[in-house]
Amino acid sequence: MKDKPDHHDADLVLKVYEMRREPKMRESRDAITQKFWPRSYDDVAAVMKFDHPLNAAWRQVSTFWEMVYGMTKHGIVHADYFLESNGEGFLLFAKIAPFLAELREKNSPRMFQNAEWAATNTNTGKLVFAMFQGRVEAMAKTFEAFEEAAKK
């Protein structure tokens, strides 16, 4: 692993930023960020089906973040430097983390292995992932409160 970032790391960070700005990728990121709030394994399994309206966005966003987090895992880019500006993928990982064991058991043992590594084996990843976990947990409580109010 790299001890400190260099200009090659900066170049990769900028390239990833440019890829995130591509119109179709931006649309997919927005869809997953705003519309995908799984509350069970079944919710995640549903979005993985090709006929689900969010499937294309799911595939684009999940594979993108797995690809770029793999660069940190394999030492291609300085992990902490990279994760300072590329933590957005942890939002998706935080959303599916409660169902990760079942996803791996029923779908693929390799699912989200790079995101998990980046979230648990780097200082910056641990901090950023914890922040996103808190946000996802707060949203889940909000959803539950709305459901309870709707029942009354």
Q: Is the dihedral of CA 40, 45, 51, 55 positive or negative?
A: positive
pTM: 0.90
Tell whether 2 is covered by a domain.
no
The two three-digit tokens of residue 78, written as one number: 């300085």
Q: Cα separation of 46 and 89, whole Å?
A: 20
Q: Cα separation of 84 and 95, whole Å?
A: 20
Q: Cα separation of 56 and 92, whole Å?
A: 15
Give pLDDT, residue 139: 87
Tell whether 82 is covered by a domain.
yes
Give pLDDT, residue 131: 96
pLDDT digits (tens, 9 = 90+) for 24-78: 999 999 999 999 999 999 999 999 999 999 999 999 999 999 999 999 999 999 9
Q: Cα separation of 82 and 111, whole Å?
A: 21
Residues of the domain holding 36: 7-151
* Number of domains comprising the chain: 1
pLDDT digits (tens, 9 = 90+) for 77-126: 999 999 999 999 999 999 999 999 999 999 999 999 999 999 999 999 99
